[in-house]
Amino acid sequence: MANVLKRIYIALIFIFLYAPMLVLIVLSFNKSKSRAKWGGFTFQWYTKLLSDSSIMEALVTTLMLAVLSALISTFIGTIAAIAITSLKKGARTLMMGITNIPMLNAEIVTGISLMLLFIFFNVKFGFTTILLAHITFNIPYVILSVMPRIKQLNPSAYEAAMDLGASPFKAFFKVVFPDILPGVFSGLLMAFTMSIDDFIITHFTKGAGVDTLSTKIYSQVRKGIDPKMYALSSLIFVTVLVLLILINILPGSGKKAKEK
């Protein structure tokens, strides 16, 4: 009995969570432009989407942003994580607090503060400002996914490498880095996902003329209903879902790789 209730409960949660997405995906295949009527199955919105040059442009911008911001924030975040773990206890707690704040902060606050910062320093709004913003909000995610790996390191391994004649630089790349690599990689994926997914911060830090997919959808939907946008949203949803699944199975995959 309790089991049945449990299942119903879980089913309800999933329905509430995923029903809106499901509706969206169903509508993206709807021949009729109406949201209330099913006019038959079609791929036409998807094909139209691919032939819309402004959307394709936004896609390229989104991907460039995601790749660049993920790479740069992974680089900075990994170094930061290493530095933070070697701090003394008090300083470490403080640094972790500072790192966590941007993640807990409302995105709109982060977005507006970044916008004000760019205005203050007279930075021209455009691709660069979005990139800087994305790097900023991605770094904490990288730190958080690299940190546990560093804590698991056997501190003697680094010294053992130097003991065997490796310079500090070599010791790091041959011994420490391979051990934290799974964390670095999942940090990279996480940053990539967050960047693709972001709307609010991008909205406040993009200038006129530059659009990512999410800001594109927003401006189009404001003009009127266009089922192409359903198709686009569905694609983004699926992409992010796949990335998230990847991230979640990855930390374990480090272990599996060892066994083979």
Partner 1 sequence: MSNKLITLENISKSYDNHLVLDEMNLYIRENEFVTLLGPSGCGKTTTLRIIGGFENPDTGRVVFDGKDITKLPAYKRQLNTVFQKYALFTHMNIAENIAFGLKIKNKSKSYIDDKIKYALKLVNLEGYENRMPDSLSGGQQQRIAIARAIVNEPKVLLLDEPLGALDLKLRQDMQYELIRLKNELGITFIYVTHDQEEALTMSDTIVVMNQGYIQQIGTPEMIYNEPENAFVADFIGDSNIIDSIMIRDELVEILGAKFACVDTGFGENVHVDVVIRPEDIELVSPEEGTISGVVTSLIFKGVHYEMDVMANGYEWLVHSTKMFPVGEKVGIKVDPFNIQIMNKPASEDEEAVQIEE
Contacts with partner 1, residue ranges (CB under 8 A): 154, 156-157, 159-168, 170-171, 174-175, 178-179, 258-259
Nearer to partner 1 among residue 182 and residue 187 (C-beta): 182
Q: In angstroms, what is the minimal distance from the CB of 62 to partner 1? A: 35
Q: Is 67 exposed, middle or buried (0-12, 13-18, 19+ CB in 10 A)?
A: middle
What are 25's two structure tokens? Answer: 């995906």
CB of 178 to partner 1, least distance (A): 5
Min. distance of Cβ 156 from partner 1 in angstroms?
4
CB atoms under 10 Å from CB of 141, counted, come to: 24
Q: How far is the CB of 172 from partner 1 (least distance, A)?
A: 12
Q: Which one, of 26, 45, 48, 46, lies nearest residue 36 by Cα?
A: 26
Tell me the β-bridge partners of 58.
none
**Element counts in the chain: helices (H) and strands (E):** 12, 0
Of 39 and 178, the one with the shorter C-beta distance to partner 1 is: 178
| Distance, C-alpha 54 to centroid of its chain | 23
Other Cβ atoms closer than 10 A to 95: 17
As measured in angstroms, the least distance from the Cβ of 152 to partner 1 is 10
Nearer of residues 95 and 153 to partner 1, judged by Cβ: 153
Q: What DSSP element (H or E) covers 10?
A: helix 2-28
Instruction: For residue 31, give every residue at least 6 positions away whose Cβ sits within 8 Å of its Cβ, in sequence order, or none.
Output: 39, 40, 41, 42, 44
CB of 45 to partner 1, least distance (A): 47
Minimum CB distance to partner 1 smaller for 120 or for 169 = 169
Of residues 222 and 260, the one with the C-beta less far from partner 1? 260
Nearer to partner 1, 147 or 175 (CB): 175
